[in-house]
Structure 1
Amino acid sequence: MGDKQGTVLGTGTAMLTPSGYQVRPKVALSSCNRIVPPAAASIIGKCPYYYQPLHGEYLETVEKVSVSSAWETVKAFATSWDPWKDKEVARRLLRRREQLIAPESTDSDWSRHGNFMMRHVGCEHKPPSYYVSYGYYYCSTYGAKLYPKLSPEGQAWLQKARWHLQKNMEDGLNKNMMGDLIRMSSQKPGNGSFKMMVPQYELELDDDMFKAFAFRTHPLAYLDGGLADLPVSDLAKITAQPNIQEWGDARTWEQAVDSGKVVLPNMINRSDMDDPVGKALGRLLAK
C-alpha cells in the first residue's frame, strides 16, 4: 500500500554483532494511516464520539474553563495540547490499537480523537483541535446546562441536532476518502447546502480546514434537527448558550446567518405580533 494507507506500526534493521554485545538497537515506531474508518452507528449522537474523557490534563483545564467561561482558553489549550504526553493513557490506547482503528469499532475507549491518535503514531500529526474543543466541549456543555432548560420539543431538537452534527462529520470524512470534493446538502428542502475542495485524505490533517468544514455543516444539522420549528422561548435559550468569546469567530456568524435564513421567516409566520423590524430582517435573510 502507499504511504497514505500504511498500517504497519514499526520499522527496523538488523546487523551482525558480537555475541557479548548487550546494547539493544533502538527501533523507531511510527504509523501514518490517513484512511479514516467509519464510526459505529451506536456512538453517533453521543458526546464521547468526539473524545473520550481519559486525559487528566484536559479534564482539569475544561473544568476550570467551564466555571470562568473563558472560551478562548479552551481553544488555545486544544491547539497546543499534546495528548501523547499522558503516558498512562497512551499505553492504555496502544494496547487496544487494533480495536480502536477498526471500522465501526465499539470499543469502550473509541472516539474520533483516540482513533486519530492510533492511526498517527510517531508521525507528528495532531488530532484536529475541533474534536476536544468545539466538539466535545460544546456537546457536553449543552447536554449538562442547556437540555434541562428546554421544552420537550427543544430537548428532542437537541438530541436530533447532535446526531446530525456527527453524521454530517462522518459523511464529510467519508467523502474526503473518495476524492477532493466535499459536497453536502440538508435532508430537508430549503435548509441549504455547501461544497468545498479538500485534498483527498487531508481533511483531518489541516486543523483550520477541518474547523471550516465542521462549521459549514452546523446550519444543516441544526435545521435538519428542526430548529426552525421550535418555540421562541427555546430559540432564545439556544442562541444564548455559546460563550460570548466565540462570536468573535466569523464562522460562528456565518452559521448563525445561515440558520437565521430559515428560522426567522418561520418565526415571523408563526407570530401574531406586528413587528416591522423583525419582518424586514426576515426578508433580508431570506434573500
Structure 2
Amino acid sequence: MTSIERVLGGADASYTPEDDTVRVEVPLNICDKQVPPAAQSILGRCEYSYRPLHEEYIEKTGVTTWEYFRSWVEGWDPFDDEGVFRRLLRRRDQLIMPESTDEDWSRHANFMVRHVGCGHAPPEYYVGYGYYYCSIYGAKLNLRLSMEGQLWLRQARRLLQVNIEDGLDDNMRGDQIEVNSQRYPNRSVAMSVAQYELEVDNTTFKTFAFNTHVPAYLDAGLAGLRLDDLAKIGGQPNIEEWLDGETWSQAIGSGAEVYGEKGSKGILLEAAEITGEVLVDTANDAANMGRDVGDAVENALRSLVRHLR
C-alpha cells in the first residue's frame, strides 16, 4: 500500500462566508492489511500484543475468572473509547512504521490505526491471551520457578511472539504459513490462509496462534525442565481455560515430547532428586515431602500427557 493509499480521508474545500462556521466533516476510512514487522526490542514483552490504554480493559483486569474475562473480550469494541482512539490516530504515522519503537506501539494498536471505519476488529488473541494471560500467568508463575524455569518462561514468551511474527510475515508473502520447531521438527506448523487475511480473520488467527504455542514451548526447553517446574507450569492455567479445546491441544502437544524425552524411569529418578534436595527433620516430614512430590509429578503428567493414558 502506497503512502497515498494510506491517507485516512479527504474532502473538497471551497470559499465560504465568514459567518459560516460549520466545519466540514471528513469521513475516515482505511483498510490496510499489510502488517509491518515488529521491532526486535519489543519481542518477549507482554506489551508486544497490547498496551493497557483503555479504561474499560483496566476495569476488567480485576475479574475473578478467566472465563468471565474471555467473555468480555469477545464482545469488546476497542474503537468505542474515543480518547484512546484519538491518541492512537495522532501517532498513526509512527505506529504504522516497520519496526516501530513508539511508546504506544503494540500489535493491537498497530491494527487499530490500519483499520479505521472498515469494520475489522483486532484479533481477540492480542488482548485475551497475548497480553492478559501473558502478564497474569508470568507474574504469578515466575517467582515460583527455579532459575531454569524462569529462563524457560522468558524464552517461551519471546518465541511465542517470534512465531506470530513469522506467520504474519509468511501471510504477507503468500497463502502458505510455516512455523518450524527447531528442536522437534515434527511439531512444526503449516497452514494455508489467503494472503493478507490472517490478521483480519479472528477465528483463523486464534487457531494459528495456538498452533504455534507447542513449537515455542518446546524450543524454549520445556522437555528439559525439572519435574517440580513442570508441575507448576502444568498446574497454572485456570480450570476454565482447559475447557477451551485450543488450549487443551497445546498442552497435550507439549506433553508428548516431555514424556518421550524423560520417560517413566527419568521421571522417577528426577522425583527422587527433587526430594533429596530438601532438608527434612523427621520421618513424617519426609513422608509428607514424598507425597508432595508425588502430587506434583501427577499434576504435571495429568496436564501435559493426559492423552497418553
| Whole-angstrom CA distance in 2 between matches of 1:271 and 1:57 | 45
Is 1:243 matched up with 2:241? no
Residue number in structure 2 paired with 1:32: 31
- Kept in 2: contact 1:191–1:223 (CA 8 A): no
| Whole-angstrom CA distance in 1 between matches of 2:246 and 2:252 | 10
Tell me the amino acid that sits aligned with residue 215 of structure 1: F
Q: CA deviation at 1:172?
A: 0.4
Q: CA deviation at 1:87?
A: 1.9
Residue number in structure 1 paired with 2:44: 45
Q: CA deviation at 1:218?
A: 0.2
| Whole-angstrom CA distance in 1 between matches of 2:102 and 2:186 | 35
| Whole-angstrom CA distance in 1 between matches of 2:184 and 2:145 | 26
| Whole-angstrom CA distance in 1 between matches of 2:137 and 2:83 | 29
- For residues 3-46 of structure 1, give each alpha carbon's deviation from its aligned partner in whole angstroms, at most 9, with x where no partner exists: xx931111324568677654333221112111000000000000
Residue number in structure 2 paired with 1:10: 9
| Whole-angstrom CA distance in 2 between matches of 1:265 and 1:189 | 12
Tell me the amino acid that sits aligned with residue 123 of structure 2: P
- For residues 239-279 of structure 1, give each alpha carbon's deviation from its aligned partner in whole angstroms, at most 9, with x where no partner exists: 1111111111111121112111101122325234699x98x
| Whole-angstrom CA distance in 2 between matches of 1:150 and 1:190 | 27
Residue number in structure 1 paired with 2:200: 205
Max radius of gyration: which structure?
2
1:73 pairs with one of 43, 49, 68: 68
Residue number in structure 2 paired with 1:106: 101
Tell me the amino acid that sits aligned with residue 85 of structure 1: D
| Whole-angstrom CA distance in 2 between matches of 1:197 and 1:11 | 37
Residue number in structure 2 paired with 1:253: 248
Length-normalised TM-score, structure 2: 0.83
Tell me the amino acid that sits aligned with residue 157 of structure 2: R
| Whole-angstrom CA distance in 2 between matches of 1:42 and 1:72 | 32
Is 1:170 matched up with 2:170? no
Identical amino acids, percent of aligned pairs: 55
Larger displacement relative to structure 2 (132-141 or 180-189): 180-189
Residue number in structure 2 paired with 1:144: 139
Tell me the amino acid that sits aligned with residue 270 of structure 1: G
Is 1:135 matched up with 2:166? no
Residue number in structure 2 paired with 1:271: 267
| Whole-angstrom CA distance in 2 between matches of 1:228 and 1:23 | 66
2:216 pairs with one of 218, 221, 236: 221
Q: SS of 2:169's equivalent? A: helix
Q: CA deviation at 1:137?
A: 1.0
Length-normalised TM-score, structure 1: 0.89
Is 1:62 matched up with 2:61? yes
- For residues 191-227 of structure 1, give each alpha carbon's deviation from its aligned partner in whole angstroms, at most 9, with x where no partner exists: 5112111111111111111100000000000000000
| Whole-angstrom CA distance in 2 between matches of 1:49 and 1:272 | 39
- Kept in 2: contact 1:11–1:30 (CA 8 A): no
Is 1:195 matched up with 2:190? yes
Q: SS of 1:183's equivalent? A: strand
Tell me the amino acid that sits aligned with residue 211 of structure 1: K
Larger displacement relative to structure 2 (235-244 or 80-89): 80-89
Tell me the amino acid that sits aligned with residue 134 of structure 1: Y
| Whole-angstrom CA distance in 2 between matches of 1:46 and 1:20 | 53
Is 1:122 matched up with 2:121? no
Tell me the amino acid that sits aligned with residue 102 of structure 1: M
Tell me, which stretches of 5 or more residues in structure 2 are unaligned? Answer: 272-293
| Whole-angstrom CA distance in 2 between matches of 1:22 and 1:153 | 66
- Kept in 1: contact 2:125–2:206 (CA 8 A): yes
| Whole-angstrom CA distance in 2 between matches of 1:179 and 1:203 | 11
- For residues 161-205 of structure 1, give each alpha carbon's deviation from its aligned partner in whole angstroms, at most 9, with x where no partner exists: 001000000000000101111122101144511211111111111
Larger displacement relative to structure 2 (244-253 or 169-178): 244-253
| Whole-angstrom CA distance in 2 between matches of 1:23 and 1:109 | 33
| Whole-angstrom CA distance in 1 between matches of 2:19 and 2:46 | 55
Larger displacement relative to structure 2 (205-214 or 120-129): 120-129
| Whole-angstrom CA distance in 2 between matches of 1:261 and 1:45 | 25
- Kept in 2: contact 1:125–1:205 (CA 8 A): yes
Tell me, which stretches of 5 or more residues in structure 1 are unaligned? Answer: none
| Whole-angstrom CA distance in 1 between matches of 2:170 and 2:5 | 20
- For residues 56-113 of structure 1, give each alpha carbon's deviation from its aligned partner in whole angstroms, at most 9, with x where no partner exists: 11011012x2xx1x11222121121111222222222111110011000001111000
Taking only aligned residues, the RMSD between alpha carbons, in angstroms, comes to 2.5
